[in-house]
Amino acid sequence: MIAFLTGRLAFKAPTHLTLDVQGVGYEVHIPLSTYYALPNLDEVTALNIHTHLREDAIQLFGFLSQSEKESFLLLTSVSGIGPKLALSVLSNLSVMDLVHAIRSEDVEKLATVPGIGKKSAGRIALELKDKVDKIQGVRTPVAAADVPELDGPYEDALSALINLGYRAQDAKEALKRVIKAAPGSLALKELIRNGLKELARG
């Protein structure tokens, strides 16, 4: 089973990408949250991978954060929720929004995802309510004191990383390193992308 891949980003689209790992191109299906945070083509990126075996194919699903992968696996454990539908959920709800909706049994929120009806939303809330706390990095909302005194895009980038499931302290430290290394101010997208790279390095 392939659990992790690091390689050159050869192609990217909102639904999938191709990762060149030492001359071998791996097609990986991804959620929109991962797509938006990808680096430019030909840059190196690392993905958490789930290998899905079918009778007629082997499919790879990739995620920039471990919390997204764990959320994906939990979703696919629900009856009637396959890999593509699980990706749709993660493309429309952040990990923290998903966890909050499940904890509060917010069926209406879950049913806003294309392909998820109220019946499926109810199953997700019922079957996963006692399991979502196991997702890495998921915890209760961050207190104001835990948020660094940053303005504009920096604060938004921190919020985005936390919503992807990273711990507030880890996200804060990663963004500090990004800001320190940057020659000037960075746009929000660059901050998130570089922050994810720092978090992937550990």
- CATH 1.10.150.20 residue window(s) in the chain: 67-134
pLDDT band at 202 (very low <50, low <70, confident <90, very high): low
* Cα–Cα distance for residue pair 55/47, rounded to 1 Å: 25
* This model's pTM is above 0.85: no
Q: What is the mean pLDDT of the chain?
A: 84
* Cα–Cα distance for residue pair 76/63, rounded to 1 Å: 15
For the domain 4-63, what is the CATH code?
A: 2.40.50.140
Superfamily covering domain 67-134: 5' to 3' exonuclease, C-terminal subdomain (1.10.150.20)
pLDDT in tens, 118-147: 999 999 999 998 888 777 655 544 433 343
pLDDT in tens, 48-104: 999 998 888 899 999 988 889 999 999 999 988 999 999 999 998 888 888 889 988
Nearest to 79 by CA among 31, 114, 113, 127: 127
Pairing relationship of beta strands 58-63 and 24-29 according to DSSP bridges? parallel
For the domain 144-201, what is the CATH code?
A: 1.10.8
Query: Of how many residues is the chain composed?
Result: 202
- CATH 2.40.50.140 residue window(s) in the chain: 4-63
* Cα–Cα distance for residue pair 126/104, rounded to 1 Å: 10
HSE-CB of 7 using CA atoms within 13 angstroms: 21
- CATH 1.10.8 residue window(s) in the chain: 144-201
